Chains A and B, each alone.
Chain A
Amino acid sequence: MSVLVYTESENGKFKKSAFEVASYAHEVAQKMGTTATAISFNASENESLGAYGISKVLNITSDQLKTFNAKAFADAIEQAASKESAKVIILSSSADTKYLAPLLAGHLKAGYIPNVIAAPESTNPFTVKRTAFSNKSFAFSEITTDIKIVGVSNNSFGIIENKSSTTVEDFSPTLSEKDFTTKSVEIDKVVGKATIADADVVVSGGRGLKGPENWGLIEELADVLGAATACSKPVSDLGWRPHGEHVGQTGKPVASNLYIAIGISGAIQHLAGVSSSKVKVVINSDPEAPFFKAADYGIVGDAFEVVPKLIEKLKEFKAQNA
């Protein structure tokens, strides 16, 4: 009866969130007096999970599963759960895991709670704290089924080291054609750049930037900080930036360490999506902009003057602190 955690990788390398969910799984396993097993797909360096308290890794090596496929991955995780008699399954909150999680929940008749931000309050009954109402509140939710699935929010629990000895086993799930009735035809993805989902820093621009031609500023600032770029909803509605960058209640949630909002007024729908970010900075020419009420640090000023200076000084800062 172990705790099973799905540790995501990309091109063989574990994502940062994999270490966070591994740490979380270790904590849950401790609370339940059992051990944590990870399942990984085509990952190298599986032993590295031992640093976060994983005692066993089931690693799948399969060409068929090189590209993510929700149904097939869910099926494989289900088989791993049954092999381990896992009662608790821990997942991240990436787009891919949020895709497979409900499929897994349906098959296992398991309760699933996403957006969980802390270790379980209690494991019997099994209750967790999660965000609800698009970050405008928290809920203490209980999972009442035999098997429980927890989706952990990025950057909420943290990566916690806990050395344990790890064994890596090959695992070969039995998959059938039925697992592949949705086919990936083409993936169009920016490589080598931080994404909103897993960036430590997000630099976001609003209508205050006046037009798409001024986005060089946002991109340069993001480059200096190794940050992902984002925007407010009207900016993507106007076609200045792609849909995928729109953050907020009806867009992507942001849970970065640092969120820098430039020329964004701070409407309630925008703030809802970014309130899980730890530190928020606002740069806005209007001292009355509502964002100042939600931010930790602010500069009242014209973005076209402040941001170039900020870029320059950050470059100096980075050079000194490299």
Chain B
Amino acid sequence: MKILVCISNVPDTTSKINFTDGDTKFDTNGVQFIINPNDEFGLTRAMWFKEKQNAVVHIATVGGANVEPTMRKALAIGADEAIRVNAEPTDGFFVAEQLASIIKDGSYDLIIAGRESIDYNGGMVPGIIASILDLNFVNTCIQLDIEGTNATAMREIDGGKEKIATTLPVIIGGQKGLVEESDLRIPNMRGIMMARQKKLTVIEPITATKATKDNTFEKPAAKGAVKLVGTVEELIDLLHNEAKAI
């Protein structure tokens, strides 16, 4: 089985979000970048496929040279090989077309992406890839098993979950549940050393569609102070008469 894990390079979850250039660009100053959490669950699930089902695991990221530390981390966790498409990932459609082109050439059986990137929250890259390449697709995937060419997946739905049966090749939009938080791996020294030797191929982007652009950003208005109340009666009264929330 040949697996591609799509890894998005995102600001750490504790990052303060600021903008520069007249609120047109995300300010990366002092920001630590990490593997998108949804992708980290997927990567760990891929490691299990590697260990238990002899899968070969590649990773791919669309981004400038600045994303390589994040890719090296994924290699240190255990991915075998990495591909970087040398382009700014400014638009979900554009990113999906770049990755689709890698997937087509690499004949992967399973493509693991995340439900969404926690920065621009597009939630679209795996689905667009699926439609471009006509792959089977399971979104918000919280469990995945593969036997031969059959895949059984669990997907989260509003208020519950749904079991889905499909066949390879398949692409998923994954999230927590694929593996648990406690299953996530921290790269060890040996992994980090080995990662330095692993192949990281840089390719130039194909000409692709740009469908959207973020013109400007805005930070939420500062919030007024909390109203502290002493009794539940007061709270109910405020919620009813002031906030009109009950």
Q: Show the binding face of A for B, using Cβ within 8 Å.
A: 70-71, 74, 94-96, 98-107, 109-115, 127, 131-145, 178, 181-190, 193, 195-198, 201, 225, 233, 237, 243-244, 246, 249-251, 257-258, 268-269, 272, 275, 278-279, 281-282, 292-300, 306, 309-310, 313-314, 317, 321
13 contacts between A and B (CB under 8 A): A103-B130, A105-B93, A105-B127, A112-B93, A137-B217, A138-B220, A187-B157, A190-B160, A243-B142, A249-B13, A257-B245, A297-B228, A313-B232
CA distance A257 to B244 in the complex (A): 9
Cβ contact within 8 Å between A186 and B37? no
**Which of B47-55, B78-86, B115-123, B197-205 is the interface stretch?**
B115-123
B218-246 vs A, CB cutoff 8 Å, 1 = contact: the mask equals: 11100110111110110110111001011
Cβ contact within 8 Å between A106 and B122? no
Q: A293 — nearest CB in chain B belongs to which residue?
A: B226
Q: Which B residues touch A268, using CB under 8 A?
A: 13-14
Cβ contact within 8 Å between B217 and A298? no
Q: Which A residues touch B108, using CB under 8 A?
A: none
B196 at the binding interface (Cβ < 8 Å):
no
Cβ contact within 8 Å between A113 and B212? yes
**Which of B1-9, B62-70, B174-182, B187-195 is the interface stretch?**
B174-182
CA distance A101 to B154 in the complex (A): 19
B140 at the binding interface (Cβ < 8 Å):
yes
CA distance A97 to B212 in the complex (A): 19
Given the known interface contacts A185-B163, A313-B232, the answer about A141 and B226 at a Cβ–Cβ threshold of 8 Å is no
Cβ contact within 8 Å between B131 and A103? yes
Classify chain B's interface size.
35 or more
Given the known interface contacts A137-B19, A317-B236, the answer about A298 and B228 at a Cβ–Cβ threshold of 8 Å is yes
B141-169 vs A, CB cutoff 8 Å, 1 = contact: the mask equals: 01000000000100111111111111100
State how many angstroms separate the Cβ of B76 from the closest Cβ of chain A: 22
| Interface of A: prevailing SS | mixed
Cβ contact within 8 Å between A310 and B232? yes
Cβ contact within 8 Å between B127 and A103? yes
Cβ contact within 8 Å between A244 and B160? yes
Q: Which A residues touch B61, using CB under 8 A?
A: none
Q: Which A residues touch B42, using CB under 8 A?
A: none
Cβ contact within 8 Å between A95 and B130? no
Cβ contact within 8 Å between A138 and B137? no
Q: Which A residues touch B118, using CB under 8 A?
A: 133-134, 249-250
Cβ contact within 8 Å between B219 and A183? no
State how many angstroms separate the Cβ of B124 from the closest Cβ of chain A: 4
Q: Which A residues touch B130, using CB under 8 A?
A: 102-103, 106
B206 at the binding interface (Cβ < 8 Å):
no
Cβ contact within 8 Å between A185 and B165? yes
Given the known interface contacts A137-B220, A143-B211, the answer about A298 and B121 at a Cβ–Cβ threshold of 8 Å is no
Q: B212 — nearest CB in chain A belongs to which residue?
A: A111
Cβ contact within 8 Å between A144 and B212? yes
Contact of A296 among B210, B215, B227 (CB under 8 A): B227
B11-50 vs A, CB cutoff 8 Å, 1 = contact: the mask equals: 1011001010000001000000000011000000000000
